[in-house]
Amino acid sequence: MVVMPVLHVQALISKLRQNSSVQSCATKAPPMTLIQQIFWGGLFLGLCLVLETALLLWCADALRRHHIRFSHHSRLMRQLGMLLIAIGFVVAAHTAHVWIWSAALVLKGGIFDSWNPAVYFSVATYTTLGYGDIVLDSGHRIFASFAAMTGMLSFGISTAFLVGMMRPVFFSRPVFPQD
């Protein structure tokens, strides 16, 4: 009596796997060793964080310059202008990171043949959403997981930046002290 339900469940699982929308990503590139995955993943993560730092420093400078420009506007317009500038820089940084990881997956890893699945996978991984509909082989999984680490670190850094830069704007303290 117990054998029948077990066989039925196994057949059902087998059928689900055949009809599953999960795509195994067949790569033409040879798999990377663990050390290579950690090295290249760390390198691309570092590149993204350096880029984020540069863009946020540029943003702080732009906010400093535009602070004077917005000083004669109403408080609401001043807040809106400063917030839009800051958010624009943050969105640009995150978009650049997704493109860097897409390029890494297409060019360095040889994991994807075209840009569409590479960008899709990069966005899903970078945002740590991870739908799971594309599964990389074991020779590239750790490398791609560095995209998720990049996203977590970058979202944390950009959130801290936005809070730090916008808090004075919304609480009527001088954003940039007079030199």
Query: Domain range holding 106?
Result: 34-170
- H/E stretch holding 149 reads helix 141-170
Task: Give whole-number Cα distances, 47 to 80, 89, 136, 154, in Å.
Answer: 31, 17, 23, 12
Residue 134 covered by a domain: yes
Residue 143 covered by a domain: yes
Residue 81 covered by a domain: yes
Q: Which two tokens stand for residue 109?
A: 């890893």
- H/E stretch holding 90 reads helix 75-103
Asked if the model's pLDDT at residue 113 lies above 60, the reply is yes
Q: How many CA atoms lie within 13 A of 95 on its CB side?
A: 6
Number of CB atoms found within 10 A of residue 40's CB: 18
For residue range 117-160, list pLDDT tens digits in order. Answer: 999 999 999 999 988 899 898 899 999 999 999 999 999 999 99
Report d(CA 23, CA 132) in Å as an integer: 9
The C-alpha angle with vertex 81 and arms to 99 and 153, in degrees rounded to 5, equals 35
Predicted TM-score (pTM) of the model is: 0.77
Residue 155 covered by a domain: yes
Residue 40 covered by a domain: yes
Q: What is the CATH number of the domain that holds 44?
A: 1.10.287.70
Residue 86 covered by a domain: yes
- Collapsing DSSP to helix, strand or coil, 171 comes out as coil
Residue 20 covered by a domain: no
- Collapsing DSSP to helix, strand or coil, 134 comes out as strand
Residue 41 covered by a domain: yes
The total number of structural domains in the chain stands at 1
Mean pLDDT, the chain, as a whole number? 84
